[in-house]
Amino acid sequence: MTEYSLKQLQELRLEANKDKDVFVTLLEGSAEIFGAELQLGSKVSLRGNALAVFTWHGCKLAIEGEPDFVYVAEDTPNVSYINCHQVLHNLRQEAQASGGQGPRVVVAGPTDSGKSSMCRMLLNWAVRAQHQPTYVDLDIVRAQHQPTYVDLDIGQGSITVPGCLAATPVEAPITIEEGYPTQAPLVYFFGHTSPDKQEELYRYLVDKLCSVLDSRASSSPEVAAAGMVVNTMGYVDGLGYELLLHAIKSLKADVVLVMEQDRLFTQLTNQLKSEVGAMGKTVSVVKLYKSGGVAQRSSSARQQARAARIKEYFYGPDGGLQPVSVDLDATNMRVFRSGTGPRPPSSALPLGQARAANPLKVTPVVVSLELEQSLLAVSHAQVPDQLLPSNVAGFVWINGVDVTSNKVTCLMPTSAAMPGSYLLTGTIKTFIQ
Ligand SMILES: Nc1ncnc2c1ncn2[C@@H]1O[C@H](COP(=O)(O)OP(=O)(O)OP(=O)(O)O)[C@@H](O)[C@H]1O
């Protein structure tokens, strides 16, 4: 066990391998991991994480196990981040007092710029601030700042598996051990980890998610006043930029936080100067510096992280869930994929004729060996035409297909009957041991 004494505004940065146990215990003072407070004396597992334990006022920490690296850093951007939180907090308070809309915040930036960590900090600080009383019309009431977290990053999947667009209300701190709440997320299955081949579907699902979030906000003043924190893809060039802009407009974002990149900041500032957000004011584009601690991940590390995320969906973050392996009759499975097959390029069509195939339609998929190792979404849809606009209930993973007996072996979260009879597939494959 090694002890570290941190002075105010310092952080202990470390990377803990997924194969080794590493724990942190707060011995004295106060400290937080991405905005979630550590409790004095309680041991927190850091296995498989790159992170920083930050202190505003100083603390003493004990580290057990062998992190891949560990060091104390005193140069962090957290003061500018908390100032940003304070501005958002004030806007939420005003919205709560007036029954209006709170800030919808989009966090944008290239890959490995600290977007997901920033979202976590903003959400955790917002949840912690809800215990501060708000003064409204001479009554002391409790602020209900439970912002909705929206994840449009199909590459990683912080709420659920990769390949999805998802949203969830955040009512309690997001800790390193438990992650985001999983009780009632709103999830749409895109089915791919990059938007390139299905950009129309990506736009369509962003619009669908936004319209559901709009109607939730219009039926609850608390939900509206708490606003949203939105994580986006790290793909910010070309098509990635167009999709980011589309999401900002569709969400009616009020604030766009740009991590690090000057070019993206300038592009967005110019392009959004007359755009009005949900609060009725011009969108504010703010540049923030990225933390020097943000880890750079190779494409194979990302792929491993995606596989780990899918495994975690079935087995839980600490392996505490017990999924079941079930044999299904292939002839009873109704599997579909989005799109109606490859479309001819416009240049190959007679002049004036539009491309006929529709990416927003679904096509039936014959259950075959091709589906082995695929992740399938279980849809709430009642008919195939409703598959794309319907949110999904959960996921199954195809472990094996036996074409002679027509049996499909699936891994499912529980032994209960599937909550829907239609399954949606994409291009996400993984191997779960
Ligand atoms: N201050 C820090 N010290 C150590 N590690 C950090 C720090 N901030 C972030 N990290 C880690 O760096 C990695 C990348 O950060 P993060 O996921 O926030 O970036 P991102 O921009 O959302 O990435 P991407 O969009 O490419 O998936 C994560 O593992 C995160 O936990």
Q: Is the CB of 112 under 6 A from ligand 1?
A: yes
pLDDT score at 133: 45
Q: Is the CB of 306 under 6 A from ligand 1?
A: no
β-strand partners of 107: 231, 257
pLDDT score at 418: 82
Whose C-alpha lies nearest to ligand 1, atom 8?
Answer: 294
| pTM of the model as a whole | 0.92
Q: State in Å: Cα 86 to ligand 1 middle.
A: 22
Around 389, how many Cα atoms within 13 Å sit in the side-chain half-sphere? 11
pLDDT score at 183: 75
Is 112 annotated in a binding site? The answer is yes
pLDDT score at 354: 56
The ipTM assigned to this model is 0.99
pLDDT score at 279: 97
Q: Is the CB of 120 under 6 A from ligand 1?
A: no
Q: State in Å: Cα 10 to ligand 1 middle.
A: 17
Terminal-to-terminal C-alpha distance of the chain: 32
Is 196 annotated in a binding site? The answer is no
User: Which tokens sit at 20?
Assistant: 């080794």
Whose C-alpha lies nearest to ligand 1, atom 11?
Answer: 294
C-beta atoms surrounding 194 within 10 Å: 17
pLDDT score at 132: 52
Q: State in Å: Cα 290 to ligand 1 middle.
A: 9
The CA-atom distances, in angstroms, between 20 and each of 49, 298, 307 are: 11, 21, 18
Q: State in Å: Cα 111 to ligand 1 middle.
A: 9
Cα dihedral 424→426→431→433 (10° resolution): -20
Please give the full DSSP string across 181-232, using - where no structure is assigned. Answer: --SS-EEEE---SSSGGGHHHHHHHHHHHHHHHHHHHHH-HHHHHH-EEEE-
What SS3 state is found at 398? strand
Is 113 annotated in a binding site? The answer is yes
Q: State which ligand 1 atom lies nearest to the alpha carbon of 233.
A: 25
Q: State in Å: Cα 112 to ligand 1 middle.
A: 6
Q: Which residues contact 208 (CB under 8 A, 6 or more apart)?
A: 188, 389
What tens-digit pLDDT sequence spans the chain (433 residues)?
A: 999 999 999 999 999 988 889 999 999 999 999 999 999 999 999 998 999 999 999 999 999 999 999 999 999 999 999 999 999 999 999 999 999 999 999 999 999 999 999 999 999 999 998 755 444 444 444 556 789 999 999 998 899 999 999 999 998 899 999 888 777 799 999 999 999 979 999 999 999 999 999 999 999 999 999 999 999 999 999 999 999 999 999 999 999 999 989 999 999 999 999 999 999 999 999 999 999 999 899 999 999 999 999 999 999 888 889 999 999 999 889 999 987 655 555 556 666 555 555 778 899 999 999 999 999 999 999 999 999 999 999 999 999 999 999 999 999 998 888 878 899 999 999 988 7
Q: State in Å: Cα 116 to ligand 1 middle.
A: 7
Q: State in Å: Cα 159 to ligand 1 middle.
A: 16
Is 11 annotated in a binding site? The answer is yes
Probe target for ligand 1 pocket from 6, 15, 51, with the most ligand atoms within 8 Å of CB? 51
Around 404, how many Cα atoms within 13 Å sit in the side-chain half-sphere? 0
pLDDT score at 432: 86
Q: State in Å: Cα 75 to ligand 1 middle.
A: 16
The CA-atom distances, in angstroms, between 388 and each of 167, 342, 361, 378 are: 16, 18, 8, 12
Q: Which residues contact 139 (CB under 8 A, 6 or more apart)?
A: none
Check if the beta carbon of residue 314 is closer than 8 Å to that of residue 397: yes
Whose C-alpha lies nearest to ligand 1, atom 23?
Answer: 112
Pairing of strands 139-142, 69-73: unpaired
Probe target for ligand 1 pocket from 55, 112, 291, 304, with the most ligand atoms within 8 Å of CB? 112
pLDDT score at 324: 95
Q: Is the CB of 234 under 6 A from ligand 1?
A: yes
Whose C-alpha lies nearest to ligand 1, atom 19?
Answer: 114
pLDDT score at 135: 46
